[in-house]
Amino acid sequence: MRERIIAGNWKMNTLPEEGAELAHEVAKAVKDIDNVKIVICPPATHLCHISNAIKGSNVGLGAQNVHWEEKGAFTGEVSTSMLKALGCQWVIIGHSERRQMFGETDEGVNKRLRHIVKSNIRPIVCIGETLEERQAGDTFKVLERQIRIGFEGVEMSGNSGVVIAYEPVWAIGTGLTATPEQAQEAHHFIRELLSEMYGSENAAATVIQYGGSMNEKNADVLMSCEDVDGGLIGGASLKPESFAAIVNASSMI
Ligand code: PGA
């Protein structure tokens, strides 16, 4: 059976002390869950604080982005070794907000991914179509491009730890959620493509999360889809009771 992974993407929210409190609340609320991996991804400024707040708990720590070089003249960037030194085991890359507002590209995702897979940190690679792309019937074409370029030259085996998050851009932060049928169709397409690229065993072992207005009300139906193995949660991850309810719902599927 595949792992199930629920990750909270806090985006640019909370101050460090508030974040530590939130992390503490989350850890308390999910302490008895042992069949779902739980991750929180606070802003980079909070990682040190939060690493302490969740020490000894079943909650993992992730960052929201990382550079593809280890050090050097890259103003404003952080490296995988910096993240690891603060206790991060996870990092989100290619989020649609980074793509849309900060000019990140499939090629940039590829550089990051190639570096991360060598660094003992688990990437959560975000892909997903915009509303215009969906309406134009281009959803699969977009997902295929994002994966083929994003994963070019990346070796993947069943235990490489790479996670993909399918996040339809039109569902992020909008309160609109993909229907279970839409989510399953996209996840199935992604798994078939991975199967073609990496073989069916590796594809079957890869965790594919859904992201886009997942909340405590829709988590169970989305998680019940055959190819949906987790969630990347934005808004609802800022409320410990909502996030814990999503984790709980996922643990019961
Ligand atoms: P949302 O964000 O849950 O607020 O839609 C998801 C994400 O951006 O990862």
**3 state SS for the chain:** CCCCEEEEECCCCCCHHHHHHHHHHHHHHCCCCCCCEEEEECCHHHHHHHHHHCCCCCEEEEECCCCCCCCCCCCCCCCHHHHHHCCCCEEEECCHHHHHHCCCCHHHHHHHHHHHCCCCCEEEEEECCCHHHHHCCCHHHHHHHHHHHHCCCCCCCCCCCCEEEECCHHHCCCCCCCCHHHHHHHHHHHHHHHHHHHCHHHHHHCEEEEECCCCCCCHHHHHCCCCCCEEEECHHHHCHHHHHHHHHHHHCC
Could you report the per-residue pLDDT of 123-164, keeping only the tens digit for each?
999 999 999 999 999 999 999 999 999 999 999 876 789 999
CATH architecture of the domain covering 5-251: Alpha-Beta Barrel (3.20)
Give me the percent of the chain exceeding a pLDDT of 90: 96
CA of 213 to the centre of ligand 1 (A): 6
Residues marked as catalytic: 95, 167
Q: pLDDT (tens digit, 9 = 90+) per residue, 36-51?
A: 999 999 999 999 999 9
Q: Answer whether residue 11 shows pLDDT above 70.
A: yes
- Domain residue ranges in the chain: 5-251
What spacing in Å lies between the alpha carbon of 199 and ligand 1's midpoint? 30
Which pTM does this prediction carry?
Answer: 0.98
> How many percent of the chain have pLDDT more than 70?
100
What integer is the mean pLDDT of 238-252?
97
Which of the listed residues 6, 9, 174, 246 should we mutate to test ligand 1's pocket, taking the one with most ligand atoms within 8 A of CB? 9
Look at ligand 1, atom 2, and give the residue with the nearest C-alpha. 234
Please state the atom number of ligand 1 nearest to the C-alpha of residue 11: 8
Ligand 1 pocket residues where CB is under 6 Å = 9, 167, 172-173, 211-214, 232-236
pLDDT band for position 171 (50/70/90)?
A: very high
- Give the tens place of pLDDT for each residue, 78-101: 999 999 999 999 999 999 999 999
Q: 128 CA to middle of ligand 1, Å?
A: 12
